[in-house]
Amino acid sequence: MKKKTKYDYGECEICGTQIQEKLIKQDFWIRGKLIVVEDVPAGVCPRCGKKVVKADVGRLIMKLIENSERIAKSPRISVPSIKFEEEARV
Ligand SMILES: [Zn+2]
């Protein structure tokens, strides 16, 4: 099912390490709602963690997250929501 098309992301612009392709989770806030897109092919720097998303992948993501019908049918996940506290102690 998955077609593997290797793309050369080149070197990390921050630390110069060769960037590797991985499937990542990307989160977006759309009109006050958090949407997570899974299995996004992206370049990830193994040293500093910088992520690079290709322009065409970015365009596809934009299409996905604008598809409100698809979003309505997608499974929900629950995430912890923590209030910021200045005096927080661990
Ligand atoms: Zn890097």
In a domain, 48, yes or no: yes
pLDDT band at 90 (very low <50, low <70, confident <90, very high): low
In a domain, 7, yes or no: no
Write the pLDDT tens digit of every residue in 67-77: 999 999 999 99
Write the pLDDT tens digit of every residue in 34-64: 999 999 999 999 999 999 999 999 999 999 9
Per the structure, the complete domain to which residue 51 belongs is given by 20-73
Write the pLDDT tens digit of every residue in 6-32: 789 999 999 999 999 999 999 999 889
In a domain, 3, yes or no: no
Ligand 1 centroid – CA 17 distance (Å): 5
Percent of the chain with pLDDT over 70: 91
In a domain, 86, yes or no: no
Ligand 1 centroid – CA 54 distance (Å): 16
Q: What is the pTM of this model?
A: 0.77
Ligand 1 centroid – CA 47 distance (Å): 5
In a domain, 56, yes or no: yes
SS (H, E, C) 49-88: CCEECCHHHHHHHHHHHHCHHHHHHCCCCCCCCCCCCCCC
The number of distinct structural domains making up the chain is 1
CATH code where residue 69 lies: 3.10.20.860
Ligand 1 centroid – CA 10 distance (Å): 11
In a domain, 63, yes or no: yes
